[in-house]
Amino acid sequence: MTTHGATLGLAASARAWAKVNLTLHVTGQRSDGYHLLDSLVVRVGVGDLLVVSPSDQFELFVDGAFADAAPLDGRNLVVRAARLLDNGVGRGARVTLTKVLPAAAGIGGGSADAATTLRLLAAHWGLPLPDDVSALGADVPVCLHDTPQRMRGVGEVLTATGPLPACWLVLVNPGKSAATPEVFSRLKTKLNPSMPEVLPVFETAPAFAAWLGMQRNDLEAAALQVVPEIAVCLDALQDALLARMSGSGATCFGLYESAALADHAAARIAKAQPGWWVAAGPVLS
């Protein structure tokens, strides 16, 4: 996460980068209902913007293309993250959230906002980050990292995977949301193979895409039943080295070898589908 001026009591800003599940293997289910995952997660250089500035009380303001989907109360993970860090003391700060990422889209927008809020407010208030942020959601721990991570368990077991070859993603959402519980409820098999115990070292984007193609998103077939437009998104990305759905949907990604190829694909898709959300950015590594 890149921050600007993250100093005690001063104004600071940071991007909450999109989180993309390049793979998502559902490997089991615990007795409490939570699903076990094995996922290669990356952050992409497209994200919401958060700005923290001094205030006597905690305030949240939201603007941007998807502001209408972001409540200002405790339903917003920004508010919940601030409350977790403040721990009832009543510290003040003004947080402005510019929503660039669509909500409930499978790219961790709210979780990334929460993680970025924690980092910004920890610097602003002079506090350490909480030891456990899982109460904010399974994706928040991984969103505290900008580098690629292997995410296992219910999201709490994280292993840095090392740098990946330079590559770019085009993110495409058809303007539909896929409710995660509904997608999981349609999953036929909840005990699937994990990724290899040791992940290969990839020298080039094509080699990386070829290996990813042998892995899976086990939720894709189930999400297609909820949002059939996912198939149209995947078809629009057929010039990519790899096209796949992220998370529980409905956002899909295409992996490209260069910024020029990604930008060209994003422009082509946006022109053909003006009602879709389309963005291109580098994989952060």
Q: Which positions are annotated as active-site residues?
A: 19, 139
Distance CA 69, CA 155 (A): 25
Gyration radius from the chain CA atoms: 18
Instruction: Reduce the DSSP state of residue 82 to 3 states and report it.
Output: helix
Distance CA 87, CA 177 (A): 32
Distance CA 122, CA 140 (A): 15
| HSE-up (13 A, CA, CB side) for residue 285 | 18
Of 34, 31, 30, 65, nearest to 49 by C-alpha is 65
Q: Going by C-beta distance under 8 Å and a sequence separation of 6 or more, which residues neighbour residue 242?
A: 209, 212, 213, 254, 255
DSSP state letters, 227-265: -THHHHHHHHTTTSSEEEE-TTSS-EEEEESSHHHHHHH
* Other beta carbons within 10 Å of 103: 13
Distances (CA, A) of 257 to 43, 178, 234, 240: 16, 29, 18, 8
Record the tokens describing residue 227, joined without a space: 């949002």
Cβ atoms of 277 and 266 within 8 Å: the answer is no
